[in-house]
Amino acid sequence: MGSFLHGEAVWDVACPQRPSPVPGLSMAGFRVRDLDALRMVPHPAVTLLLEFGAGSPVLDCAPGRQERGCVVAVPGFGSGGAVRARGENVECVQVRLSPVIARAVLGASLAELDGAAVVPLDRLWGREASRIRERLGDLASWQDRFAWTQALLARRYEAGPPVDPEVAWAWRRIVGSRGLTRVDALAAEVGWSRKRLWSRFGGQLGLPPKQAVKLVRFDHAAHRLVAGEAAARVAAETGYADQSHLHRDVMTFTGATPATVAREPFLAVDDLAWPGRGTAP
């Protein structure tokens, strides 16, 4: 277990000792005594927040709307910078799922969430969500929690419906290019009409190809900003027309400037929580 410092707060961060045998699935464990209004920065993965213990984590999603307990968040959750996480004595396993496998693991397409960016896990899994919270709290170590969570998600993945191979290929093409793929060429490359690919991609992964490209490109650029690279260089090397274009995109996704995003703890902790970090294939 490692520690991440954010102001006066200390986050305990745990990682699995072995990578997941399920491609596109990764996880990390967090324990934070005092989580103070953490901005949720959009990420190109489906996120499961599996909380447990005696703490009181809260997601402030919009004026007057809060989510508590275990939740599912879609790719790009937090766009606009309006979502904050807070709480005392927070303990959770955070799971990142590639959109390619999320449909099978969740048992439902993200398009079936009626446009919601985050939903309680029990809306999809019923009472199983409560049992997850209880079981994680009963286990004695982070490695036991990771092993149990891994086994649960692997069973669901094996039993769930896969996405079309063409859709999976298009997503991996976008990720592999770090968002530099021309979306108009994707349909021709998989041998489908544009209308068919757009419909299947959005229906199975929960976002259209153009938004997927923008989100993957933003994620790559944002982490380069966190690494200390100059905004002008990041813009020039990550597919933006110029620095102003990067600025607008960062503001759209986070509600903050590139200089502010470069200091965001949600991003800065990634090197510790997700070693070998990359967008889920």
Distance from C-alpha of 124 to C-alpha of 115, rounded to nearest angstrom = 15
d(CA 15, CA 200): 34
Phi, psi of 207 (to 5 degrees): -150, 150
pLDDT of residue 214: 96
Taking the mean position of all CA atoms in its chain, how far away is CA 127?
24
Model pLDDT, residue 65: 84
Tallying the residues shown for the chain, one arrives at 281
Domain 2-162: CATH architecture, name and number where available:
Sandwich (2.60)
- What confidence score (pLDDT) does residue 9 get? 74
Which amino acid type is present at position 211?
Q
β-bridge partners, 91: 31, 52
Strands 58-62 vs 65-68: parallel, antiparallel or unpaired: antiparallel
Pick the CATH number of 165-268 from 2.40.170.20, 1.10.150.120, 2.40.50.140, 1.10.10.60: 1.10.10.60
Between vectors from CA 51 to CA 46 and to CA 56, what angle results, nearest 5°?
125
Q: Could you tell me where the DSSP H helices lie in the chain?
A: 99-106, 121-125, 128-138, 142-159, 165-176, 183-190, 194-205, 209-226, 231-237, 243-254, 258-261, 265-268, 270-273
Q: Phi and psi dihedrals of 199, rounded to 5?
A: -65, -50
* In the chain, where the domains are located: 2-162, 165-268
**Per-residue confidence in pLDDT tens, the chain, 281 aa:** 788 876 667 889 999 999 899 999 999 999 998 888 889 999 999 999 999 988 878 999 877 789 989 999 999 999 998 899 999 999 999 999 999 999 999 998 887 776 778 999 999 999 888 899 999 999 999 999 999 999 999 999 999 999 999 999 999 999 999 999 988 889 999 999 999 999 999 999 989 999 999 999 999 999 999 999 999 999 999 999 999 999 999 999 999 999 999 999 889 899 889 887 655 66
CA-to-CA separations, 197 to 5, 48, 163, 236, in angstroms, rounded: 44, 27, 12, 30
